[in-house]
Structure formats: C-alpha cells, structure tokens
Amino acid sequence: MRVSEASSTDFGRIGSNMREGVLEQKFLLQGKPGSPNNYLINVGRTGAGGWTAPSHRHNFDQIRYVIKGSFPYGQGKSMPEGWVGYFPESVYYGPQDRPEGLEMMVCQLGGAQGYGFVSVEEREAANQLLKTKGEFKDGIYTWYDESGKKHNQDGFEACFEQVMGRKLEYAQPRYNDLVLMNPANYAWIPEPTNGVFSKWLGSFTERNTRIGFVKVEAGASFPAGLQPSIELLFLSKGKISLEGKEYGLHSAFEFAANEGPVPLRAVEETEFFRIVMPTF
C-alpha cells in the first residue's frame, strides 16, 4: 500500500515538455519502471497562456477525469467537467488547445500490448539530451542528420526511442476512437459491505482494465485492495481515515493485487475515482 497527499505536494512546471505552453502537474504516484503496467497518476493544471499539442497517439493507455473546466481533446471536440475518458493505446487524438485553468486527473499506464510506460525521470532526461541535438516546437522534434537532411518526428516518439534505444512500435488499435463517459448517467450499485456503493463505468481489453467510482457513507469502511491487479483510488470528494491518519481531497492510494482488505473509513461521505490496472 502507498499513499500520496495532493495537499502536501506542490505543483511543478514541466521544464522540458515536448509540447507548447505551460502545464503544471502534481505527480502523486508512480509504478515500477520496466514493468508492463508501470503507471503515473497526476493532477494537472493548465497555466497562463494555455497549452497545445498536435494530433498524436501513444503506445500506452491514458485515463482522464476532468476536475475543473472542459478539456478540448480534438478539433471541435471537448470533454466536459466531471466526465471520464479512456484513451486507448495506438488511437489518435488532438489537436489540443487547453484553456488556462483546466484541471484534470490523468493516469498514464501500460496498455494491454505490454509495451509499458516510460517514467517521468527517464522522459525528462531524454528530453534534455535530445535538445542538445535538435529542437522541440509545436510538439514536433526537428533535427538534421550528418548530410544536412532535415527530419521531423513527434516529440513523444523521439523521447521514447531515446530512452528505450529502439524504434517505437504501436499495437494494432483495439478501438477506433476514444471512449468518453458521463458518470452522472450511471447508477450507484450497493456493495455487500454496508454503506458502500460502486459505479463501474467500463471494463476494457482482454486484460480487464476497469474504471469507476466508489461512494462510502460517513462512518462506513470500504475494503480496498481486493482486485486481481493494482488498484488505484483518487479521493474526489470527502475525507477518509486510514491507520489513524486522515486524508483529504485529491489524495491517491495504491494497493497491490489481492493486498486487502484494507479498510478505508469515511469521516464524511466520500467518493473515490477508481482504476484497476490491466492484469498481466
């Protein structure tokens, strides 16, 4: 079990971002580098002047939960506040033109193909090295080879190949588009534990990545860590008590496969955004 409190974590600007603009993030929890379901869960906030990115895709999954504002994920397309999006590996999205003040919880995680996810530290080191050989502009990395020929490449792809030392590969897409979900239109289903309710939004791929919410009434306890893979919880409303300590809004919790039951007692009515990682 691991816990990270957003209240005690400062926003930090991504200094060598592969995109354009200001994006500040709180890195809450990270997985194990090199593992197929390595991950990063963060809360991001768009800074002054906004933030842009071209149309692109990744060889890992992303799960996005809009906390404040509306997320323009493509030309003329936007994900409203409170909505959840599953961004599958190999599926294009964008261009993005995020407005100032937009806040999202984002989980980037290794997808079903098993290509994994490059850690923040690896990515930032690669970006700094690439900048000594070329230039990032509008999400594209440009460099010149020994013969003076110009090359353009997506910034993420260039970064990945620098870290891994091999060409980036994409899985054949399992979906032909993003999956966007409005949690307000789902019903709360009572769990066997008194005072606990679940709202599963969906289960994805053959490795059973699951996305949903948990509601816990004041005084009740949610038994966490009973899933066959890593379970991530993001406290989206309320306050809980764990092992004698209270945790508030936007705290994140990681439970290893079958680690539980670990009782999370609701000090007041509480809701968690919930992710069960793919099972490998």
Predicted confidence (pLDDT) per residue in 44-78, tens digit:
988 777 878 889 899 999 999 999 999 999 999 99
Residue 187's CB is within 10 A of a number of other CB atoms, namely 6
- pTM for this prediction: 0.88
> Among the listed ranges 32-36, 87-91, 210-214, 255-259, which one has the minimum average pLDDT value?
32-36
Domains and CATH numbers, the chain: 6-117 (2.60.120.10), 120-164 (no CATH), 181-276 (2.60.120.10)
Which two tokens mark 116? 């994994």
Residue carrying the six token digits 């990681």:
254
Question: Across the strands, what pairs with 43?
Answer: 26, 105
pLDDT at 14 over 90: no
Task: With beta carbons less than 8 A apart as the criterion, state whether 27 and 9 touch.
Answer: yes
pLDDT of residue 16: 46
Question: Across the strands, what pairs with 3?
Answer: 253
Residue 195 gets the label, from left (phi > 0), alpha (psi -120 to 50) or beta, of: left
Q: What is d(CA 221, CA 262) in angstroms, rounded to the nearest whole number? A: 9
Predicted confidence (pLDDT) per residue in 222-245, tens digit:
999 999 999 999 999 999 999 999
Give alpha helix (H) positions in the chain.
120-131, 155-164
Q: What is d(CA 192, CA 187) in angstroms, rounded to the nearest whole number? A: 16
Task: With beta carbons less than 8 A apart as the criterion, state whether 279 and 229 touch.
Answer: yes
